Amino acid sequence: MASIELLIKNVRVVRPGDADGTPPPVDIAVNDGTIVRVGPGLPEDDAATVVDGRGLLAFPGVVDAHQHWGIYNDLSTDTRTESRASVQGGVTTALTYMRTGQYYLNKGGSYKDFFPEVLSLSEGRAYTDYAFHLAPMSAQHIGEIPYLVEEHGVTSFKIFMFYGSYGLHGRSTSQSDFLMIPENERYDLAHFEFVMRGVQNAREILTDYADHLSLSLHCETAEIMTAYTKLVEQEGQLTGLRAYSASRPPHSEGLAVTIASYLAHETGLPNINLLHLSGQKALSAAMTMAGAFPHVNFRREVTIGHLLADVDTAHGLGGKVNPPLREREDVEALWKHVLDGNVDWVVSDHACCRDEMKFGADRDDIFLAKSGFGGAEYLLPGLVGEGLKRGLSPQAIARISSANPAKRYGLLRKGDIAEGHDADIALVDPNASWTVRAEDSESTQEYTPFEGFSMTAKVTDTFVRGNRVLADGKVVGDPVGRYQPRGR
């Protein structure tokens, strides 16, 4: 009987802690989903399954720290189809946002009732490992934070700063109806403060989890967006993605970052994640706040969409997203921050929105379209292809695609290709040339804002705990993903 279950031969293992450069070929031995040895010339005769890595780069499986399963489609369906799309992009662990209110399960109430249903609907359907961030929408939810940490291993929480008086897609809406919160409560700056105090309280009473308990913020300012949306529509000079960007201007993000950072300082909450910063003003504000409040342990996130596409190059109104795609100068500014080490991780913000849901009666009216699109299938290919061209090292890519989010979010066996870690591995051909076509994606989304984009790197094989879920570019086998309780 073979003593090694899986042997991946002849791969160049990219480790986040190694010095920059192209690593030499080695082999990876896997037993029971765990890496047991990494080294050159491991014997094949004692392995049950041998995979020839063909000298490709072996990255730690991507920890995509920002997805939205079930926001527009049924959660059980999304879990299956969008995790299949994810493994095409080298993703082996998906962290997906979930909340009560309209969209998702379209329910309010207690997370003690709501979250077990989320777990049930997703169980046994994912091709990636997965976990959930939760958003405390009400005072009741704040009180449930310690329960969620201890009972379900949820260690990350979220605030949507613009929900206070603004709709999901660009229209004001009834807050209590949209968020399904008690009529005597408000989702506003005071609530945001109390969420921070709630997370900090959990850190103080659950000390075993404290390092991995964090709060993430979608930083946009509702009042600024409301006023600018009115201006853009009244002037009528801008259309499409440029109109939407102007209606949610970059300084709206910068202002929200500043407010959130001061609230973190005021409440003593040190672990703050600033999500999907879209351009120079947002990153500049984030860096300024890091200098102003050095005792706050900020993390800064950017999406692959904002790194690859702008208001001119994205394919159609399918590129509507919150915060919006920006100008080309903002794309270049984001890349400079990535290269300077100011961005902690890159994510997809994958939110599958099918054509019938995405577009309004007038398909050319940006303000009638829904916000969000899929993109996990392009995460590692886009980051490797564009990053290497710009001088980003493979090791830096491993850090911002896997190691950094794994560490922050308490995924202690993820983020590296090393003995004792889960065998989450993505093989990448850094010299492949191909063109993005929506029809080639496993997602149920029929379009992509990246349609026609030229890619110069491709994920050929993806392994989730040693299970080969992508083989030669094709999704294979049955769902093997498991829910990942986090923190201890």
pLDDT single digits (tens) 29-61? 999 999 999 999 999 999 999 999 999 999 999
8-state DSSP, 400: I
For residue 142, tell me if it sits in a domain.
yes
pLDDT band for 247, please (50, 70, 90 cuts): very high
In the predicted model, what is the mean pLDDT of residues 308-317?
97
Q: How far is CA 161 from CA 167, 219, 231, 322, 422, in A?
A: 11, 6, 21, 12, 35
* Model pLDDT, residue 83: 98
347/64 Cα distance (integer angstroms): 5
57 alpha-carbon distance from chain centroid: 22
Percentage of residues of the chain with pLDDT beyond 70 = 97
For residue 376, tell me if it sits in a domain.
yes
Nearest to 406 by CA among 64, 123, 43: 64
Pick left, alpha or beta for residue 452 (phi over 0 → left; psi -120 to 50 → alpha; otherwise beta). Answer: left
pLDDT band for 2, please (50, 70, 90 cuts): confident
pLDDT band for 165, please (50, 70, 90 cuts): low
* Model pLDDT, residue 36: 98
* Model pLDDT, residue 6: 98
* Model pLDDT, residue 183: 87
**Does position 126 have pLDDT exceeding 90, yes or no?**
yes
> What integer best gives the mean pLDDT of the chain?
96
- Residue given tokens 């890349």 in the structure block: 335
Q: Phi and psi (nearest 5°) for 362?
A: -100, 105
Reported as a single tens digit per residue, the pLDDT across 326-348 is 999 999 999 999 999 999 999 99
pLDDT band for 178, please (50, 70, 90 cuts): confident
* Model pLDDT, residue 177: 78
Q: What is the pTM of this model?
A: 0.97
The pairing of beta strand 434-435 with beta strand 467-471: unpaired
The SS3 assignment for 298 reads: strand
**Does position 172 have pLDDT exceeding 70, yes or no?**
no
Is-contact 405 19, C-beta < 8 A?
Answer: no
Instruction: Pull the structure tokens for residue 92.
Output: 């082996």
* Model pLDDT, residue 76: 98
The pairing of beta strand 57-60 with beta strand 4-13: parallel
In the predicted model, what is the mean pLDDT of residues 17-26?
96
* Model pLDDT, residue 170: 59
**Does position 355 have pLDDT exceeding 90, yes or no?**
yes
Instruction: Pull the structure tokens for residue 472.
Output: 């030669």
First to last CA, the chain: 35
**Does position 418 have pLDDT exceeding 60, yes or no?**
yes
- Residue given tokens 């960007």 in the structure block: 245
**Does position 171 have pLDDT exceeding 60, yes or no?**
no
Reported as a single tens digit per residue, the pLDDT across 249-284 is 999 999 999 999 999 999 999 999 999 999 999 999
For residue 1, tell me if it sits in a domain.
no
* Model pLDDT, residue 1: 72
For residue 92, tell me if it sits in a domain.
yes
For residue 324, tell me if it sits in a domain.
yes
**Could you tell me the residue range of the domain that residue 280 belongs to?**
61-411+432-454
For residue 109, tell me if it sits in a domain.
yes
* Model pLDDT, residue 486: 96
Q: What CATH number is associated with residue 405? A: 3.20.20.140
For residue 351, tell me if it sits in a domain.
yes
Instruction: Pull the structure tokens for residue 274.
Output: 């600033």
Active site amino acids: 349
In the predicted model, what is the mean pLDDT of residues 213-241?
96
Reported as a single tens digit per residue, the pLDDT across 83-107 is 999 999 999 999 999 999 999 999 9
- How many domains is the chain built from? 1
